[in-house]
Amino acid sequence: MIINLRVWRQANASAEGKMVSYRVEGVSEDMSFLEMLDLLNEDLTVKGDEPVAFDHDCREGICGMCGVVINGSAHGRGSSSVPTTTCQLHMRSFADGATIDVEPWRAGAFPVIKDLVVDRTAFDRIIQAGGFISINAGSAPEAHSVPAPKLQADRAFDAATCIGCGACVAACPNGSGMLFTSAKITHLAMLPQGQPERYSRVKTMVATHDAEGFGGCTNIGECAAVCPKQIPLDTISQLNRDLIKSLFKGDGKAK
Q: How confident is the model at residue 136 (pLDDT cuts 50, 70, 90)?
A: confident
CA dist., res. 208 & res. 125, Å (int):
7
* Residue with more model confidence, 133 or 74: 74
Quick check: is 214 in a domain?
Answer: yes
Task: Confirm whether 252 is domain-assigned.
Answer: no
96/81: higher pLDDT: 96
172: domain CATH number is 1.10.1060.10
> Which strands make up the sheet holding 99-103, listed edge to edge?
18-24, 3-9, 99-103, 69-70, 73-74
Do residue 171 and residue 213 come from a single domain?
yes
Specify the pLDDT at position 254. 46
Domain annotation covers residue 70:
yes
Q: Average pLDDT in the 106-118 region?
A: 96
Q: Tell me the percentage of the chain whose pLDDT exceeds 70.
A: 96
Instruction: Examine the domain organization and report whether 89 and 124 are in the same domain.
Output: no
Specify whether 173 is located in the same domain as 98: no
Domain of residue 130, residue span? 120-134+147-246
| Residue 183 and residue 90 share a domain | no
Q: Are residues 88 and 178 in the same domain?
A: no
Q: 208 in a domain, yes or no?
A: yes
Question: Given a cut of 60, is residue 59 above it in pLDDT?
Answer: yes
* pLDDT score for 78: 76
In this prediction, residue 169 carries a pLDDT of 98
Q: Is residue 142 part of a domain?
A: no
| Total number of domains in the chain | 2
Question: DSSP string spanning 198-217?
Answer: HHHHHHHHHHHHHHTTPPPP
> Mean of the pLDDT values across residues 63-87?
91
**Neighbouring residues of 52: CB distance < 8 A, sequence distance ≥ 6:** 7, 9, 37, 40, 41, 44, 115, 116
Both 18 and 89 in one domain: the answer is: yes
Say if 29 falls within a structural domain: yes
Q: Residues 95, 10: one domain?
A: yes
- Is there a single domain that holds both residue 124 and residue 234? yes
Quick check: 94 and 70 in contact, CB under 8 A? Answer: no
Query: Looking at the predicted structure, is the pLDDT value of residue 210 above 90?
Result: yes
d(CA 75, CA 8): 15
The enclosing domain of 61 has a CATH number of 3.10.20.30
Shared domain for 240 and 127, answered yes or no, is: yes
Asked whether residue 157 falls in the same domain as residue 234, the answer is yes
pTM of the predicted model as reported, rounded to 2 decimal places: 0.92
Query: Is position 129 within any domain?
Result: yes
User: Is pLDDT of 252 > 70?
Assistant: no
What is the Cα–Cα distance from 228 to 82, expressed in whole angstroms?
8
Residues 238, 171: one domain?
A: yes
Residue 126 and residue 76 share a domain: no
The band of 181, judged by pLDDT with boundaries at 50, 70 and 90, is very high
Q: Is the pLDDT of residue 119 over 80?
A: yes
> What mean pLDDT comes out for the span 5-31?
97
Domain contains 251: no
pLDDT greater than 90 at residue 144: no
Average pLDDT, the chain: 93
